[in-house]
Amino acid sequence: MKRLTELLEKNREWADKINQEDPLFFETLAQQQAPEYLWIGCSDSRVPANEIVDMLPGELFVHRNVANVVVHTDMNCLSVIQYAVEVLKVKHIMVVGHYGCGGVAASIEQEAHGLIDNWLRNIRRVFQKHSDFLSVWDHSHQQLDRLCELNVIEQSVNVCETTIVQQAWENGQDLTVHGWIYGLSDGLVNDLEFNASGIAEVEEQYQLAMSKMNKLRELAEASDKGQQSPRSLWDKVKSIFN
């Protein structure tokens, strides 16, 4: 029998350290959960939700799965969204992808991966929908970065189209859905500028986010098929739109 003794010891040390720094920390945390944010992110171990935005546990409600996919038949994800929106009354839902996502990369590989291919099929559909757009980058890592971004935008729309979010908006609830992508190499979040706060804004925000993606493609084509870093390309796009 193997036990995770080392981790259990680390847990005790961590709890002691927190108690010394703030004796009321756990007592306060245990009394209530009132986060304003629901984070839907990738399971990737390098993307720790509350650390990235420098928040404490209790400030962020979190759902993670492979490649931050939101499907309308996924009872797990839908239950999290329902609890967050209807009970916790979060004000923001952010879909947070990340560059270099292994799940997104696997979705467009030819080789079979078994069961997970059923899940990754949702991203492959995003790839097929935007295949013209993505063709500029061939099969480079730049193309993967763009697909990671497109996946965030499409999954953000999926969040907006859940009956839960639609109903919340019909009831006048203050709720905005955001599309973000995180850079593993620099620790920075890139706001993909999809920010929908009502039914009427979904299509408008989608078109706005896509027009920025198209500008990015234009700049990439004008340079050398996107050899620049995504960050520098995005900085240019944002300076054009702002």
Residues that bind Zn ion (CB under 5 A): 42, 44, 101, 103
Active site residue 124: no
Q: Confirm if 93 and 84 have CB atoms less than 8 A apart.
A: yes
Pairing of strands 176-182, 92-98: parallel
Q: Confirm if 170 and 162 have CB atoms less than 8 A apart.
A: no
Nearest to 174 by CA among 54, 37, 61: 37
Radius of gyration of the chain (CA): 20
The CA angle 72-77-81, to the nearest 5 degrees, is 95
Q: Confirm if 147 and 200 have CB atoms less than 8 A apart.
A: no
Active site residue 98: yes
Active site residue 42: yes
Nearer to Zn ion, 60 or 196 (CB): 60
Considering the complex, what minimum distance in angstroms separates the CB of residue 102 from Zn ion? 6
Three-state secondary-structure class, residue 94: strand
Considering the complex, what minimum distance in angstroms separates the CB of residue 47 from Zn ion? 7
Considering the candidates 42, 77, 148, 160, report the single residue annotated as catalytic.
42
Nearer to Zn ion, 178 or 205 (CB): 178
Considering the candidates 63, 77, 92, 101, report the single residue annotated as catalytic.
101
Nearer to Zn ion, 68 or 162 (CB): 68
The torsion angles phi and psi of 96, rounded to 5 degrees, stand at -120, 105
Considering the complex, what minimum distance in angstroms separates the CB of residue 99 from Zn ion? 9
Considering the complex, what minimum distance in angstroms separates the CB of residue 67 from Zn ion? 5
Nearer to Zn ion, 105 or 136 (CB): 105
Active site residue 101: yes
Q: Give the active site residues.
A: 42, 44, 46, 98, 101
